[in-house]
Amino acid sequence: MYLTWERYKNFIIDMDGVIYRGKQPLPGSAEFFQFLRERNAKIAFFSNNSMMTKLQYIDKLRNMNIFAKEDEIFSSSSITAYHISKEHPKSKVFCIGEDGIREELQKNGIDIITNANEEQADFVVVGLDRQFNYLKLTQAMRCILNGAKLFGTNPDLTFPLEDNKLIPGCGALIASLEVCTGTKARILGKPYPESIQYLLEKTGFEVTETILIGDRLQTDIALAKQYQIFSILVLTGVHQGEDVKKTGIIPDMIVENLIELKKIMLMKVET
């Protein structure tokens, strides 16, 4: 039996650990996306990173000779803001996070409060925040104890940098609030179903014609498996081949990087 790549018209591709690490593009990234464009493939850039705005993502990719449009960018920020505004319009939020989540909340009509001691928050929303400190933790904790519901953009415990080192991720910040409040966060990014439902709704992708490429087994690959989307694990990010056995999450294909994936896609591959 041969895998026919022609059936796959849509590509959902994670960014951190797949296309780049920090500011450093990973091998073959620009060439791979040029290859997809030449095939007239539809692309969705799909990140759990809540720090950056869509325009910041576009600029970052452009500097790596990868060209994206705003409606091709999907992040845990846009997913989280969309669901809060849809379910609880005009709510007030105490936000821990950077530009990405703040802009998306405001674009969706959500009021971000700046002083939790003076205003009552309906929700505490947590994204990755590299300026996270004890004061923010305290204010968020008090909001939750006063009745605010806790939302998290994504569960990633770590975040990869270009020097092959990791820093604490959004999941670590969420965990600190869960522990001190006794509250469980509602998380909307990968691998939670709201994330892929949002993307499929916005793009119109058919799952039988779609490939999802990622570097994390518990988020990217687990999400693809839930929806029977063909999944490819690249080994340039968080997880390696031996992690498949440890987690029991088995991708449909494993490749070293996007260079190898392009080569495979140019061949007939026996499965």
How confident is the model over 37-64, as pLDDT tens digits?
999 999 999 999 999 999 999 999 999 9
Residue 160 has pLDDT above 80, yes or no: no
Q: Are 93 and 125 in contact (CB under 8 A)?
A: yes
Q: Would the pTM count as exceeding 0.75?
A: yes
Quote the DSSP letter at residue 191. T
Query: Which residue ranges form the domains of the chain, and what is each CATH number?
Result: 2-48+190-270 (3.40.50.1000), 88-187 (3.40.50.1000)
Letter string b/e over residues 159-169, b meaning 16 or more CB atoms within 10 A of that residue's CB: bbeeeeeeebb
Return the SS3 of 235.
coil
pLDDT value of residue 1 = 37
Q: Residue 81: which H helix or E strand, with range?
A: helix 76-87
Q: Are 262 and 35 in contact (CB under 8 A)?
A: yes
- Mean pLDDT, residues 143-168 taken together: 88
In DSSP notation, 100-164 reads HHHHHHHHTTPEEPS-TTTS--SEEEE---TT--HHHHHHHHHHHHTTPEEEES---SEEE-TTS
